[in-house]
Amino acid sequence: MSYTTVSVSLDDREDGGLNVYSDSLPGLILSGPDKERVASMIAPAIKTLFENRGLSVVRVEPERPVESVLAGASPRVIGVQVHGSKKAADTSTHESRYVVQFSGDGDDPRREAA
């Protein structure tokens, strides 16, 4: 089993919500008016993106508690460790783009259609 660290950016929105994205993991884009709800979606979204790339993910965990990161000034970056291994039966790779938008969102230039 191996692990990799993904850098995840958390930026405050003008409406008090949160934008989450990663330059090191294409497809990770989360946004919504409720910071805690968006933050709770980071690990499941990362797990899904890695699994769709053929990895069997055992766990996804931030290097620091997300709550303590959110308490800092925006923009913020947190490292998230992804522990897993390559699936033996599936060696194909494909890129998917996942965008999670919650109702009440304003326009954001990073938002793309799924």
Does residue 110 belong to any structural domain of this protein?
Answer: no
Number of domains the chain is built from: 1
Q: What mean pLDDT do residues 69-89 have?
A: 76
Range scoring the smallest mean pLDDT among 16-25, 77-86, 97-106 = 97-106
Question: Best-predicted range by mean pLDDT among 62-76, 79-93, 97-111?
Answer: 62-76
pLDDT of residue 34: 94
Does residue 114 belong to any structural domain of this protein?
Answer: no
Does residue 62 belong to any structural domain of this protein?
Answer: yes
- Give percent of the chain above pLDDT 70: 73
Report the distance separating Cα 109 and Cα 97, nearest Å.
15
Tally of CA atoms within 13 A in the half-sphere of 46 that contains its CB: 31
Please state the pTM of the whole predicted model.
0.69
Which stretch of DSSP H or E encloses residue 85? strand 76-86
3-state secondary structure of 77: strand
DSSP symbol at 73: P
pLDDT of residue 1: 60
Q: Which domain holds residue 81?
A: 2-87+96-101
